[in-house]
Structure 1
Amino acid sequence: MSDTLLLVLDLAGIAVFASTGALVGVRKELDVFGVTVLALITGLGGGVLRDVLIGSVPPAALEDWRYLVVPAATALAVFVFHPAFGRMERQIMVLDAVGLALFCVTGAVKADEAGLNVLAASVLGTLSGIGGGMLRDVVAGRVPVIFRGELYATPAFAGAFVATVVHHEGYSEWWYALAFAVCLGWRLIALKRGWTAPLPPGIDHA
């Protein structure tokens, strides 16, 4: 995958995730600083965790100014126009799924480029996708979405695994679209049909 394409996908995913973080901040009635911090955490958290774990320090988010400007600008847009964003709940959930798919693919590629095996790179690709949201929910005092029964991490791992195999075997860049589609399609179908992860026997979802 070319560096330019990787950067574009990374920034697109950051903007999408930052918007969800900023919206949580607005609903928690935080000030502009709090909203911006939540947006930065959500947009950059997963990538920073991945970079630290593969030894790519300082993380890309601290080396390239665009990685900070994009989520900050997104946060300000949501802060100012939050009534409009608040009415777009369904669309934002779809965008969140898009961001998840983008991050699990780019994260897996970066992890594989660092020399990790296929399984480890897939796990780090998954972390890239879910890490920011986990940090956002913890900071905002919410139970992280991946612990609430929703199928979120599983589609991310599936997409990350496909992306890792594609990169590891040197297949054409067009095959990354398959990895993206696996994660995005699974997540959207789970949202539409209400699919959830299984609980221990005898325990029902609330």
Structure 2
Amino acid sequence: GVKIRKSTIIEKPTFLKSVLNSSNAWPALIIIFLSMLISYLLSLIAGGYLRVLNVFASTDGLTGCLRREAFYAKATYELAKCKKNNLPFSVLVIDLDHLREVNNSFGHEKGDLAISLCAEKILKCLRSNDFAGRVGGDEFIVALKNTGASDAFLIANRIREAVKSIKLEGLFLSVSIGISQYDKDNASLQEVISKADANLYIAKRQRNDVVY
């Protein structure tokens, strides 16, 4: 008769032995390395996309200043830090003078240009830790961390003088600025801004003026 062997002399290969086999190891390592590299690159791309998306979401397209919501969120956070460390905090509320006349005389396109040029001057006058938000059509708020009233007044006048140099269609632009500093009577951000807004109202009577 004929005997048939039901088992093989060679042992069945295990996963570990297959991996440790030199002929199988290199392709496996290459695949693992490429997978890790692709995952890393995808995470960088996703992170960069999210950062860019956040910038677009928080920045006003016309002026480059923070949008209203983004400004208030950042200013609230920075004011809380100044309170905690017993540091001064001031705000400037800035309004472009005679924008209605610019729009009526030269059109809204020129009005947008006036706002953009004004914002450019404001941003150039700020220090590295200061930041500005566009909170209305032609209204801006500047947050000045670790800054008292006297320094805030100097910065406000620097902005006022810078905007005065802008000439549009034969018309020199100007801004009115109200200043307020955080103190015990102005405990919240909104109270500080409201006080500065009240001073802006006084400055608007004269135009091209700074009131504290």
TM-score, normalized by length of structure 1? 0.38
Q: Larger Cα Rg: Structure 1 or Structure 2? A: 2
More helix by share: 1
More strand by share: 2
